[in-house]
Amino acid sequence: MVRVFQNPDTLLTSLADFTLLKGEEAIRRAGSFNIALSGGSSPKKLYELIASDAYRSSLDWTRVYFFFGDERFVPADHPDSNYRMAKESLFDPLGISSGHVFQIDTSSTPGDAAANYQHKLIAHFKTDKPIFDFILLGLGDDVHTASLFPHTDALKERTLLVTDNFIPKVNAFRITFTYPLINLGNTVAFLVYGESKANAVRTALEGPHDPDAHPAQGIKPKGELIWFLDEAAARNLAKRP
Ligand code: 6PG
């Protein structure tokens, strides 16, 4: 499903409403809400909105467990750290206890970071097929998502839940959820706004099917998949919802 909103503000408000609705449903159904956050710059405003007075009392945060769909292989206090961004914009303002935040430990090697995180997931979910209630994803202008970048090894992973991935484009390692893990998700939502993403959105949704070149095309969850777009990001779509 593709939902297009007039501007980033209405998009973010709708996605915040949707996220908290999914949280309420999960807590009612299972007593907890397991959510994987995306990184980069787009979601920061969403996290700040959810942590604002308008939303902060809308969910029992003691029932929510936060994970990361990917992480840059940098220290937790590095400006590029997805954990640092979420800590500053979401966890600290909401007073989330550290026991409810599953950080990717980047203090060892990329391989250890990925293996340790996979172990954390399996221990938390008590299964080697963890089903997230909600996975938030972004979209790069090269149609990457999480840290599944075009023509990189992680795209081929069919067994591991989490892997390290060397990204030649940025000459750095990332840690990322794999397709098998993301595609187990109950709800997977892309948050994409701004005209700089219009070509990537069109390629992801209407371009030739080639997940190796366009990794977001490999996101086919068992559950629901919703694209939250603003008009600017959707402007090149031939088929408008
Ligand atoms: C990351 C993200 C990545 C991001 C896209 C879009 O760690 O960078 O998880 O997949 O969602 O690169 O990033 P922007 O929102 O900054 O454009």
| For residues 195-209, average pLDDT | 98
What is the spatial distance between Cα 154 and Cα 176, in angstroms, rounded to a whole number? 8
From ligand 1's centre to the CA of 30, what distance in Å? 30
In sign, the C-alpha dihedral spanning 15, 19, 43, 147 is negative
- Residues linked to residue 230 through DSSP beta bridges, in sequence order: 5
What is the structure's pLDDT at 241? 80
Given a contact cutoff of 8 angstroms between Cβ atoms, the answer to whether 135 and 77 are in contact is no
Model pLDDT for residues 223-237, shown as the tens digit of each residue? 999 999 999 999 999
∠ CA 208-15-11, nearest 5°, is 75
The answer for residues whose C-beta is within 8 angstroms of residue 78's C-beta and 6 or more apart is 72, 84
| For residues 169-178, average pLDDT | 98
Residue nearest to atom 11 of ligand 1 (CA): 138
- Our mutation pick for probing the ligand 1 site, out of 15, 37, 42, 162, counting the most ligand atoms within 8 A of Cβ, is 42
Tokens 């467990």 belong to which residue?
Answer: 65
171 within ligand 1 shell (Cβ under 6 A): no
150 within ligand 1 shell (Cβ under 6 A): no
38 within ligand 1 shell (Cβ under 6 A): yes
Given a contact cutoff of 8 angstroms between Cβ atoms, the answer to whether 137 and 188 are in contact is yes
Backbone angles phi, psi at 100, to 5 degrees: -105, 5
| For residues 173-189, average pLDDT | 98
Which letter does DSSP use for residue 57 in this model?
A: G
DSSP 58-122: GS-GGGEEEEESEEESS-TTSTT-HHHHHIIIIIHHHT--GGGB-----SS-HHHHHHHHHHHHH
What is the structure's pLDDT at 16? 98
Percentage of the residues of the chain whose pLDDT score is greater than 70 = 100
Res. 240: pLDDT tops 90: no
Res. 42: pLDDT tops 90: yes
- Confidence label for 33 from pLDDT (cuts 50, 70 and 90): very high
| Helix, strand, coil share of the chain (percent; to 5) | 40, 20, 40
70 within ligand 1 shell (Cβ under 6 A): yes
Model pLDDT for residues 57-100, shown as the tens digit of each residue? 999 999 999 999 999 999 999 999 999 999 999 999 999 999 99
From ligand 1's centre to the CA of 202, what distance in Å? 17
Q: What is the pTM of this model?
A: 0.98
Percentage of the residues of the chain whose pLDDT score is greater than 90 = 99
From ligand 1's centre to the CA of 216, what distance in Å? 12
42 within ligand 1 shell (Cβ under 6 A): yes
From ligand 1's centre to the CA of 128, what distance in Å? 26
Model pLDDT for residues 137-156, shown as the tens digit of each residue? 999 999 999 999 999 999 99
Identify the helix (H) or strand (E) that includes residue 2.
Answer: strand 2-5
What is the spatial distance between Cα 199 and Cα 226, in angstroms, rounded to a whole number? 18
| For residues 101-113, average pLDDT | 98
Average pLDDT, the chain: 98
Q: Which amino acid is at 196?
A: S
∠ CA 211-127-67, nearest 5°, is 60
The answer for residues whose C-beta is within 8 angstroms of residue 234's C-beta and 6 or more apart is 2, 4, 198, 201, 240
From ligand 1's centre to the CA of 146, what distance in Å? 7
From ligand 1's centre to the CA of 22, what distance in Å? 22
